[in-house]
Amino acid sequence: MLFSTRAEYGVRLMVELGRHAGDQPVSLNAVAENERLPLSYLEHLVAKLRKAGLVESQRGARGGYRLARPADRIDMLEVVQALEGAITPMECFHPEPEGKVSCSHEADGDHACATKLLWTKVHGGVAKALSGTTLADLVEFAGAGGDGPPEPDPTKAVAGAA
């Protein structure tokens, strides 16, 4: 599964805003310069993030953008879905609002789709990884220089651990 540059650049934008949490609003020009990203693309992304209630804007000479809530209360599933829409590993795969999976192949016949179990597991794994990662985690990782994956938090349960 590939995410587009919307997700990559949007997450980088959010991390940059997270680095300045509590400070004055950050201009998109500053983010574009610091992250070496195209300003016009960031303008498009920040509009989606603002609509999703993840960032706030402030007009004026000292205007810019800031997080709408603390970084530890923003998970990456929210961010990616705001930028990419529903996360689906296959075109035929559609998560319904209740978290169940509907497959367009099942609608055509009376038997289950042979690959539904696989794509359900893929979707669940991606969603779990994104929802289990907060913006604060990424800000902290970036502040540490990004020298490899973060150490696991022993207070959090690990899937498959006995």
Of 23-32, 64-73, 122-131, 143-152, the range with the lowest mean pLDDT is 143-152
In this prediction, residue 161 has a pLDDT band, given cuts at 50, 70 and 90, of very low
The per-residue pLDDT for range 81-112, each reduced to its tens digit, is 999 988 877 766 665 555 556 666 655 556 67
pLDDT interval class at 145 (50, 70, 90): low
Contact 116, 124 (CB under 8 A): no
Mean pLDDT, the chain, rounded, equals 82
User: Are residues 127 and 160 in contact, defined by beta-carbon separation less than 8 angstroms?
Assistant: no
Q: Which domains does the chain have, with CATH numbers?
A: 5-143 (1.10.10.10)
Residue 15 — pLDDT band, cuts 50, 70, 90?
Answer: very high
Q: How much is the pTM?
A: 0.78
Write down the residue that tokens 């961010």 correspond to: 79
**How far is 143 from 10, CA to CA, in rounded Å?**
18
Q: How many CB atoms lie within 10 A of CB 152?
A: 8
**In this predicted structure, what is the pLDDT of residue 147?**
57
Q: Cα dist. 35→59, 140, 142 in Å?
A: 22, 17, 12
Kindly state the average pLDDT of the residues 118-133. 89
Q: What's the Cα-to-Cα distance from 108 to each of 93, 99, 111, 112, rounded to whole Å?
A: 14, 21, 9, 10
Structure tokens at 48: 């989606």
